[in-house]
Structure 1
Amino acid sequence: MTQLTTTSGIPVTDNQNSITAGPRGPVLLQDFHLIEKLQHFNRERIPERVVHAKGSGAYGTFTVTHDVSKYTKAKLFAAIGRQTETFLRFSTVGGEKGSADTERDPRGFAVRFYTEEGNWDLVGNNTPTFFLKDGIKFPDFIHTQKRDPQTNLKSAQNVWDFWSKAPESLHQVTILFSDRGTPDGYRHMDGFGSHTYSLINDAGERVWVKWHFKTLQGIRNLTAAEAQRLAGVDPDYAQRDLFNAIATGDYPRWSVEIQVMDDARRAAWEAQTGWDAFDLTKVWPQGEFPRIPVGILELNRNPDNYHADVEQAALSPSNIVPGLGYSPDKMLQARLFAYHDAQLYRVGTNHQHLPVNRPRCPFHNQQRDGAMAVANGGAAPNYDPVHADVPAVGGFGHGDAGWPVEGNAGRYDTRATDDHFTQAGNLFRLLTEEGKRNLIANIAGSLSNADAATQDRQIGHFLKADTAYGQGVAEAIRALQNQA
């Protein structure tokens, strides 16, 4: 049996009884083993994520299967057959850490690639779109998904009041209340980078890109009734399913694919449709921008310790490597700041030193000190002098020349003229008849809990997307009210 010690390595001779003054006490403050245990116990929780609080994770590998070197110089794509270690964290978005895995909610799909040039984090969802196009509204939206400040209860009124006044959310709302809103665990759903990113090749040429992860297990969704039942009998359903599948060698896999758009195609498409290629509430039609295969992602190793690896995983879309880049997507631009800032608050200044966050390649910077500075630079200088004789590198670095920026600085609101309805209507018309019935029933069950003004406003959006969509929801709500 391994000798029990304090955290400082001092042998513990008795882990059953406190040191007391006589058999009945009182307990003496000199019992450092007791004090250390209680102090650590009081501090063993780190702040819960504001979003994506409940999650599961696993390690795996990404293997290149197709040559995409004409688009990117990133070394992880340099040769067919090349493998890169990965970590993938799944999550629900709006619930607390103890919430059920089967709630109707988007699912986080955050992948870290431990490349030889540093960590690349592709932090997305199981949906290609989102509810918003500007990060300034993100805190407001998330507050509607959380608990009401007076009642401390979830509020359908708050949720639908926000959505009904933000028609840009309609596309994502349609996805959420379809069968895709309750996926059957994490293995049977697709993942998306969601935002528009960019790829840069050796010549410094850039294309815009959307990332897709297509499940090779096949899409499977839960009915609303089954999701609700599982929330009661097995709230950790998705965690259990993922862990057990990997433990028994049934490794889940996804085909990694990209959509590509160069600037000329972007300008023509935007002129034709009136849609913004960088708008997170829109998709790029796959008929015009077909998916291009890149590789296979496989999850094949469960973490040895959930807290160390899954809870302390600190991913950020700002982590990119040479050959990859960002875009003018307003939501992405906000997340480039917000995610890293959240990790500094939640895990700590030196969260990149933890094993799950540490790059697998050598790294060097002049950052020093702070709490838990494991890799603190040794005797190397803690500053970088001015190098006046070195040619300046333009753009964002990494060989990305950037993109032109024009216009006056200001706050621009295009919502009044944007098309929020066509793509949502297209999605509705793509659904099977059963899928449409399920979508309408799911929406009606939730929207019926909002007030009449909110219902009318939201139904107006559905009608603009598709007449049958809006009429179906209105009739379903009336039927529920007549039953009450």
Structure 2
Amino acid sequence: MTTQDDLRPILTTESGAPVADNQNTETAGVGGPALIQDQLLFEKLAHFNRERIPERVVHARGAGAYGTFTVTADVTAYTRAAFLSEVGKQTETFLRFSTVAGNLGAADAVRDPRGFALKFYTEEGNYDLVGNNTPVFFIKDAIKFPDFIHTQKRDPYTGSQEADNVWDFWGLSPESTHQVTWLFGDRGIPATYRHMNGYGSHTYQWQNEAGEYFWVKYHFKTDQGIRNLTQSEANRLAGEDPDSHQRDLREAIERGEFPRWTVQVQIMPAADAAEYRFNPFDLTKVWPHADYPPIEIGTLELNRNPDNIFAEVEQSVFSPAHFVPGIGPSPDKMLQGRLFAYADAHRYRVGINADHLPVNRPHATEARTNSRDGHLYDGRHGRQKNYEPNTFGGPAQIGRPLWSAVPVAGATGNHVAPSHAEDDDFGQAGALYRLMSADEQQRLIAGLAGFIAKVSADRDDIVERAVENFRKADADYGRRLDEAVRELRKQR
């Protein structure tokens, strides 16, 4: 008689040998010590000890899903990218959401920017668009990125995030005023990953078939509508359900309520950049829609959950250096640094062959390189030669650049970015404040004041410098914030 157990597959060791007993360690007699010859025990323990790879230094806490990007408008006048070549064309995608500062075990419902990293599996290779849920960022030069992140992480002495460190750096970095206003406004704590926008944030280059190029910014507008949490709602949810955002995304897709975003771009003719009123490659600024209206180009839908979080979310890697023909970088100094830093972080964290993993390798084409060996190498190249040029039928270059060359001039050096007529650090922050309703302004002031008031009692200089940046953005903004901070510090 066949039982249910007879129909189950056989449990094996990593080498495929059947396991005789997975319940009891082999010992020297009943009740005796374990034997080193029980290799199943050592294999399982050794594998278990190595099941975790280093978490991301930033964006460690994340969730992801597969989806489909569909072209809805003809953009061939601006780019020759194949996946954007015709209306109705669809491309498989993988989108990873994340918080920025928290570690892997942190809660989802916190005041923090959200990562919005999107991989397009195109027929010309993978295109990675690495952005956030805000159109701007705290700094404009990648050389300051490690310093900025150190202020957001745990202090080397106290082991906690310290208001002193955060506001000391932000006060000394006035370009952060715009992003900080975003962060402490109502959109600083999205209710879910589905109810927030995404942005490419950086400026990128599009090149058409004729060789003309344009500067572009990407916008992903949620079709679910914007929903946010108040600070008190977030505090409660973070304690009751630390996995709230991850759970919401997974369960929505399981129910068939597939999240969707309308994809838009702002397009600037290349000739406009030099004389534009502020530096168009400055990541701390937005391009006003009145100057360059967003144009709808497609839709993004998430419709499939990953089967294994570690394999497909933790081991997913994204790099803004992953371009396809017709799309390229801009002189944005933050982007330039990230072109190296993102890929290098994953080479350290996951391994030199991270791009071979199923979630990372191209799905609509095949990667053909001469790189071999190293951690995770699977021998896929067989006997193929590993150099170029060769006379054995190996892959060859196409001889056409992926994007347009950009003219440069002048001496090398550690240059400040070129100055434009309206290149100040405060104007857009003040404009954002004035766009807010009275209630929104009040919540912004309360959130900022509550955090600034935590600065050590003997460091009024940090407080004054921080508040002064907001005063420069808008006099009313600074005055109200100063009063609120003073009142809270009196109560300490």
Tell me, in whole angstroms, the C-alpha distance in 2 between the residues paired with 1:75 and 1:25.
67
The one-letter amino acid of 1:259's match is Q
The one-letter amino acid of 1:438's match is R
Match of 2:70 among 63, 69, 83: 63
Match of 2:178 among 171, 186, 198: 171
SS in 2 for 1:3: coil
Deviations 1:385-405 (A, max 9, x none): 289xx99957xx22x231011
Deviations 1:97-131 (A, max 9, x none): 01110111000000000000000000000011100
Structure 1 residues 84 and 415 mapped into 2: Cα distance closer, same or farther (>3 Å)?
Answer: closer
Tell me, in whole angstroms, the C-alpha distance in 2 between the residues paired with 1:171 and 1:252.
29
SS in 1 for 2:463: helix
Tell me, in whole angstroms, the C-alpha distance in 2 between the residues paired with 1:350 and 1:363.
12
Runs of 4+ in 1 over 6 A off after TM superposition: none
Tell me, in whole angstroms, the C-alpha distance in 2 between the residues paired with 1:185 and 1:333.
31
Quote the residue 1:433 is aligned against. Answer: 438
Tell me, in whole angstroms, the C-alpha distance in 1 between the residues paired with 2:383 and 2:77.
42
SS in 2 for 1:343: helix
Asked if the contact 1:90–1:107 (Cα under 8 Å) also holds between the matched residues in 2, the reply is: yes
Structure 1 residues 134 and 289 mapped into 2: Cα distance closer, same or farther (>3 Å)?
Answer: same
Structure-to-structure mapping, 1:278-297, within 5 angstroms:
278-297=281-300
Query: Which stretch shows the higher mean deviation, 416-425 or 431-440?
Result: 416-425
Asked if the contact 1:195–1:329 (Cα under 8 Å) also holds between the matched residues in 2, the reply is: yes
The one-letter amino acid of 1:380's match is Q
Match of 1:329 among 332, 344, 352: 332
Asked if the contact 1:168–1:415 (Cα under 8 Å) also holds between the matched residues in 2, the reply is: no
Structure-to-structure mapping, 1:15-30, within 5 angstroms:
15-30=22-37
Quote the residue 2:490 is aligned against. Answer: 482
C-alpha displacement at 1:49, in angstroms? 0.3
Deviations 1:437-462 (A, max 9, x none): 01100000000111311111111111
Tell me, in whole angstroms, the C-alpha distance in 2 between the residues paired with 1:405 and 1:28.
69
**TM-score (structure 1 length as normaliser):** 0.96
C-alpha displacement at 1:416, in angstroms? 10
Quote the residue 1:193 is aligned against. Answer: 200
1:214 and 2:217 correspond: no
Structure-to-structure mapping, 1:329-408, within 5 angstroms:
329-360=332-363, 361-385=365-389, 393=399, 397-398=401-402, 400-408=403-411
1:459 and 2:467 correspond: yes
Structure 1 residues 405 and 393 mapped into 2: Cα distance closer, same or farther (>3 Å)?
Answer: farther
- % identity of equivalent residues: 58
Asked if the contact 1:369–1:376 (Cα under 8 Å) also holds between the matched residues in 2, the reply is: no
C-alpha displacement at 1:25, in angstroms? 1.8
Tell me, in whole angstroms, the C-alpha distance in 1 between the residues paired with 2:172 and 2:418.
11
Structure-to-structure mapping, 1:47-446, within 5 angstroms:
47-269=54-276, 273=277, 275-360=278-363, 361-385=365-389, 393=399, 397-398=401-402, 400-413=403-416, 418-446=423-451
C-alpha displacement at 1:66, in angstroms? 0.8
Deviations 1:17-71 (A, max 9, x none): 0111101121111111100000001110100100000000000000111111100
Tell me, in whole angstroms, the C-alpha distance in 1 between the residues paired with 2:56 and 2:339.
17
C-alpha displacement at 1:415, in angstroms? 10
Tell me, in whole angstroms, the C-alpha distance in 2 between the residues paired with 1:291 and 1:40.
50
Query: Which stretch shows the higher mean deviation, 474-483 or 64-73?
Result: 474-483
C-alpha displacement at 1:8, in angstroms? 1.1
The one-letter amino acid of 1:350's match is N
Quote the residue 2:3 is aligned against. Answer: none
Asked if the contact 1:62–1:295 (Cα under 8 Å) also holds between the matched residues in 2, the reply is: yes
Quote the residue 1:11 is aligned against. Answer: 18
Match of 1:2 among 2, 9, 17: 9
Tell me, in whole angstroms, the C-alpha distance in 1 between the residues paired with 2:444 and 2:469.
15
SS in 2 for 1:300: strand
Asked if the contact 1:368–1:376 (Cα under 8 Å) also holds between the matched residues in 2, the reply is: no
Tell me, in whole angstroms, the C-alpha distance in 1 between the residues paired with 2:302 and 2:111.
25
Asked if the contact 1:251–1:299 (Cα under 8 Å) also holds between the matched residues in 2, the reply is: yes
C-alpha displacement at 1:78, in angstroms? 1.2
Tell me, in whole angstroms, the C-alpha distance in 2 between the residues paired with 1:372 and 1:241.
33
C-alpha displacement at 1:407, in angstroms? 1.1
The one-letter amino acid of 1:471's match is R
Asked if the contact 1:71–1:206 (Cα under 8 Å) also holds between the matched residues in 2, the reply is: yes
The one-letter amino acid of 1:453's match is D
SS in 1 for 2:160: coil
The one-letter amino acid of 2:296's match is P
Asked if the contact 2:186–2:444 (Cα under 8 Å) also holds between the matched residues in 1, the reply is: yes
Tell me, in whole angstroms, the C-alpha distance in 1 between the residues paired with 2:419 and 2:151.
23
Deviations 1:364-411 (A, max 9, x none): 111111122125311111100289xx99957xx22x231011111111
Deviations 1:151-173 (A, max 9, x none): 10110110000000000111001
The one-letter amino acid of 1:341's match is D
Tell me, in whole angstroms, the C-alpha distance in 1 between the residues paired with 2:171 and 2:353.
42
Tell me, in whole angstroms, the C-alpha distance in 1 between the residues paired with 2:28 and 2:344.
48
SS in 2 for 1:296: strand
Tell me, in whole angstroms, the C-alpha distance in 2 between the residues paired with 1:440 and 1:382.
60
Structure 1 residues 379 and 414 mapped into 2: Cα distance closer, same or farther (>3 Å)?
Answer: closer
Match of 1:32 among 39, 50, 53: 39
Unmatched segments (≥5 aa) in structure 2: 1-7
C-alpha displacement at 1:469, in angstroms? 0.4
